[in-house]
Chains A and B, each alone.
Chain A
């Protein structure tokens, strides 16, 4: 049976893993390569490294960090941040990534999705969407809006429309981050995740708000997520993936165990 995936995410700033609270406050959490291996050993199904400084400071992705992290890492490894062209993607793949995650650059030039996919396969392209509920709307979830540039710029685009377009253009997966919930540890945005997951055929990774095993179970069972991503829940020794997964499995979700 296909299991739901627990993805350990590392937000990287200047070569260090950090965790923002609603995209702003920054706390140092360690070395990306060391943490990637620790997560994999502890049972994470997949590792994501997001270079959160890449977009607004115009920096290239930190290829050396990727290379170090990818060495001897035998679970899927995704890298995002600063990938603006098929050449950028190629450099990240050459450094050892299996997938790239693209966000602002895909909004700016949606052809990028197919350009990367044609060389590396659709499975290697994750379109990341930073979403915020439209609080003044009569339907804040359906009208949720896409933000870019690390969550600083609204685009005026509906999350649902962009997710469907990304799929049509050849995205392999959608990484949906709720900016409202990110860093709060109050739970995922299950309603928004469910809406997007049911609108597309490709897997949807839920992100933003993980604080407990119950939150994961909820986003899998009610939010219809195919995978869920967490960062701060792991970094400070709150729990490891193996323990987290055992608790999620106990709630009735199929997990890769033992791992």
Chain B
């Protein structure tokens, strides 16, 4: 069973559609702790405000997600779902993240080196410095384009599996063992995005 967590942060239709398109049979959109513990894969999509992740805590899912991750179930956070894997975000300083990865997410600067930076960062940007051996990004060459729409970004660290350049470098994909996240939208990134989801489903 592929569990897609519904925490009322935006629209899940596209993610569900992409996962089904790739041949996944048993896809459930769920808020149930039992579903998560019995899933073969867990996806945490989400667009919108970092504060919306508080519902995960309210629903009692935070502890369950930790448990599932410890049990080795492959976990993929998308967009805000990736950001939540960090310690927190300046978008909602009072809302803690899961803290799987060190660091806080920050807003793009309004300007850099005298150049105005538009925000949100919307559109197709390239994946750079893809870490050799990344299972999530297997078969995807650096320079491949993916679709972004976000105003906050995660810092680079040893767990960064790929970076993207916009007002400096940020984490495009993060991966440590079975815990993974992508800042871009694989469900909207044409063939490259489908390959990322396919890699995840094949774990």
Q: Tell me the A residues contacting B by CB distance below 8 Å.
A: 1-5, 40, 45, 70-72, 74-76, 93-96, 98, 119-124, 172-173, 201-203, 226-227, 256, 259
Residues of A within 8 A of B189 (CB): 74-75
Given contacts A1-B165, A74-B193, A202-B118, 9 further A-B contacts (CB under 8 A): A70-B17, A71-B17, A74-B189, A75-B190, A124-B11, A201-B110, A202-B119, A203-B122, A259-B145
CA of A3 to CA of B146 in the docked complex: distance in angstroms?
Answer: 10
Residues of B within 8 A of A (CB): 9-11, 13-14, 17-18, 21, 47-49, 110, 118-126, 145, 147, 149-150, 165-166, 185, 187-191, 193-194
CA distance A192 to B41 in the complex (A): 49
| Chain B residues in 8 Å Cβ range of A1 | 125-126, 165
CB distance from B71 to the nearest CB of A (A): 31
**Count of A-B contacts with CB under 8 A?**
91
A71: B residues at CB distance < 8 A: 17
B123 pairs with A2, CB closer than 8 A:
yes
The reply to whether B149 and A172 form a contact with Cβ atoms under 8 Å apart is: yes
Can you list 26 contacts pairing A with B, beta carbon distance less than 8 Å?
A2-B121, A2-B124, A2-B166, A4-B123, A5-B123, A72-B21, A74-B21, A74-B191, A74-B193, A75-B147, A75-B189, A75-B190, A76-B147, A120-B10, A120-B11, A120-B47, A120-B48, A121-B9, A121-B49, A123-B149, A124-B11, A203-B122, A203-B123, A226-B122, A226-B123, A227-B123
Sorted nearest first, the 4 A-B pairs with minimum C-beta distance are A121-B48, A123-B149, A121-B47, A256-B124
